[in-house]
A and B are shown apart, each in its own frame.
Chain A
Amino acid sequence: MSDNILIQVEDVKKYYNGEKIKALDGVSADIKKGEVVVVIGPSGSGKSTFLRCLNLLEAPTSGRILFDGTDITDPRTNINNHRQHMGMVFQHFNLFPNMTILKNLTLAPIKLRKKSKEEAEKEALALLGRVGLEDRANAYSSQLSGGQKQRIAIVRALCMNPEVMLFDEPTSALDPEMVGEVLDVMKQLAREGMTMVVVTHEMGFAREVGSRVIFMDEGRIVEEGTPSEIFDSPKSDRLKSFLAKIL
């Protein structure tokens, strides 16, 4: 195994209701350090399930997932320790509504990383500044726009200083005019070399930022390659018809 591989997914299957619903039907993939992997596909193709399996928010029915060489699907592995190194951003932000933004950002670093309140707040404010929201530190999430919420959610994950960031349709719940500000933050992260796995419908983002694009359908990876391979010369008929519909 190359040292360069951060997450190794080996023949992961996820079935619901016995074997009636096959959300993932044998998916294997390697995610290398510094790579931006964009996962695209029609709804119900299993792309979100794939992403959620990476940090075990969904437990795979079978198969293995190795993170930094550790098999996190092994019941003896303490998944909580590994999740601290895998940031996740959700479609619906999931900020904690009963806390201020600053508390949202510092809760995990203080409780899990045992940082002092001052240190955690200093780091949080610095990161907030990078997304241009340091003036909202004492606001509550209900006082923010969708785009601001999502930028804060990204910062919350970054405060744990993760090795990889997982994005689950981060712009799908946003008003069109707010999509840009969130994508800009993600692009900046990618430029800084963050390893990212992004499930999205933003084909422009995939083309511009993605180092690799994975096209999924019916719980399988149908095609993968560089953005130009996927978008300019698709091979499979399924991908061709998908692209024809959305572009």
Chain B
Amino acid sequence: MAEWFADFKTDFIICFVEKNRWKFIVNGLGNTLKITLFALILGIAIGVIVAVVRSTWDKNGADMRRGFGRGLLRFFNGICKIYLTVIRGTPVVVQLMIMYYVIFAASDNGVLVAAIAFGINSGAYVAEIVRSGIMSVDEGQFEAGRSLGFNYIQTMRYIIVPQAFKVVLPALANEFITLLKETSVAGYVAVKDLTKGADIIRGATYQTFMPLMAVAIVYLVMVMFFTWLVGKLERRLRSNER
């Protein structure tokens, strides 16, 4: 047993202490959080817009007066549908590589490109979550808003979307947790995220167990923390309604 501990200590020093290798983990974690946070914001922005366009078309497209407005809405709805199909129909690693090697080939800011790629990817999933939330808000809420004189966009903004958000907040939080773990493939395009940090240590020290376990634990702790936070949030939302 004492021997095992001694080995563990030696390995630990090789992996994290020597040459300040712990910095790969800490800096990687920083990049992972940066990518996740930026992607989350971008994803929610895209998701809400797509969800509003899609649900507007689904609810009103059939009875709208034929004309410019309907044509425009139909066009945007078509674009949103293509976006959802393409993004949800291809692996995120492929999207990431297309972003990095094709679309933003001139950029050397890997973290930003990864954040944009994950944001666009996440937007598709957020859109469907928010759309289900919008559809779940009672039609009477919408009529009440319109009868007061709010136009369609104002009704969405002040009345429907805040209520929809409340309904889907737990689902959105889960999407955030999924996103956090998904960013671990950012290393594919030379981004030094948390996973890549462990990989660099593995390559430099020929140690496999220690660095990989370490990042696994870091991910697990983060996910457990956010899951706990989501649970707390859900309980608070529920108590507000009573």
A57–B144 Cα distance when bound, in Å, is: 10
Residue from B144, B150, B151, B163 within 8 A of A90 (CB atoms): B144
A111–B67 Cα distance when bound, in Å, is: 29
Contact with B along A79-91 (1 / 0, CB 8 A): 0111110111010
Q: Does B149 count as interface, using CB distance less than 8 angstroms?
A: yes
A92–B144 Cα distance when bound, in Å, is: 10
* Residue numbers in A under 8 Å from B141 (CB-CB): 94, 96
Given A142-B241, A142-B242, A160-B148: A92 in contact with B140 (beta carbons within 8 A) = yes
Can you identify 19 A-B contacts, CB atoms within 8 angstroms?
A75-B67, A80-B149, A83-B147, A83-B148, A83-B149, A84-B148, A88-B143, A92-B140, A94-B140, A96-B144, A96-B163, A97-B241, A98-B163, A107-B158, A107-B159, A108-B149, A111-B150, A142-B242, A143-B242
Q: Does B162 count as interface, using CB distance less than 8 angstroms?
A: yes
Listed in ascending order, the chain A residues whose CB lies under 8 Å from chain B are 55, 57, 59, 75, 80-84, 86-88, 90, 92, 94-98, 107-108, 111-112, 140, 142-143, 156-157, 160
Q: Would A55 and B154 count as touching, CB distance under 8 A? A: no
- Residue in A95, A108, A156 whose Cβ sees the most chain B Cβ within 10 Å: A108
Residue of B nearest to A16 (CB): B63
Q: Would B140 and A108 count as touching, CB distance under 8 A? A: no
Residue from B143, B151, B240 within 8 A of A94 (CB atoms): B143
Q: Would B65 and A75 count as touching, CB distance under 8 A? A: yes
Residue of A nearest to B147 (CB): A88
A90–B146 Cα distance when bound, in Å, is: 12
* Residue numbers in A under 8 Å from B163 (CB-CB): 96-98
> In whole Å, how far is B41's beta carbon from the nearest beta carbon of chain A?
22
* Residue numbers in B under 8 Å from A160 (CB-CB): 148-149
Q: Does B23 count as interface, using CB distance less than 8 angstroms?
A: no
* Residue numbers in A under 8 Å from B150 (CB-CB): 80, 108, 111-112
Contact with A along B148-185 (1 / 0, CB 8 A): 11110010001100110010000000000000000000
